[in-house]
Amino acid sequence: MPCHCLAANYVYSYWLLDDPDGSTRYRLTVSATTSLYEYYLSKNHNLPPYEFAQFVTPKALEPIAEDLWDIYNDEEDFANGVLMILHQVPYEESNRKYPVETIVENEGDCDTFSYLAASIMKAGGLEVVLLYYEAESHMNVGVHLSRSPQDSRSSIHSYSYQGRKYYVAECTGGKWENGWRVGECPEEFEGASVAIITLENCENQSPGEVSSSYNSLVSSSISLVLSSTYTMRSQTVIISGSISPLRSHKNVTVYYGLGSSWSALETLVTDANGTYSYMWRPSSAGMYYIRASWSGDLEYAGADSRICRLVVISVFWLILGIIAIVITSVAIVRVLLARQARPPAEVQSSL
167 forms beta bridges with: 143, 158
131 bridge partner residues? 140, 196
pLDDT of 349 reads: 47
Amino acid in position 10: Y
Cα gap 211→214, rounded to integer Å: 11
Q: Using an 8 Å Cβ cutoff, are 247 and 294 in contact?
A: yes
Where along the chain do its domains lie? 8-197, 218-313
Whole-Å CA distances, 136 to 133, 178, 190: 5, 25, 11
Q: Which helix (H) or strand (E) holds 189?
A: none
Alpha carbons 143 and 99: distance in angstroms, whole number: 18
CA–CA separation, 41 vs 38, rounded Å? Answer: 5
- DSSP string for residues in 83-145: HHHHTTSPB-------HHHHHHHT-B-HHHHHHHHHHHHHHTT-EEEEEEETTTTEEEEEEE-
Angle of helix 62-71 versus helix 110-123 axis, rounded to 10: 70
Angle at 350 between CA 348 and CA 351, to 5 degrees: 145
Q: Report the CATH superfamily, name and number, of domain 218-313.
A: SOR catalytic domain (2.60.40.730)
CA distances 43 to 6, 58, 97, 208, 321, Å, are 26, 16, 9, 14, 36
Which residues have CB under 8 Å from 209's CB, separation 6+? Answer: 36, 59, 60, 61, 62, 63, 295
Predicted pLDDT at 340: 75
Q: Do domains 8-197 and 218-313 have the same CATH topology?
A: no
Cβ burial, residue 108 (10 Å; 0-12/13-18/19+): buried
As a CATH number, domain 8-197 is 3.10.620
**Strand, helix or coil for residue 176:** coil
pTM: 0.85
pLDDT tens per residue, the chain (351 residues)? Answer: 333 333 458 999 999 999 888 889 999 999 999 999 999 999 999 999 999 999 999 999 999 999 999 999 999 999 999 999 999 999 999 999 999 999 999 999 999 999 999 999 999 999 999 999 999 999 999 999 999 999 999 999 999 999 999 999 999 998 899 999 999 999 999 989 999 999 999 999 999 999 999 998 899 999 999 999 999 888 999 999 999 999 999 999 999 998 778 999 999 999 999 999 999 999 888 899 999 999 998 889 999 999 999 999 875 555 655 776 777 777 777 777 777 776 655 544 444
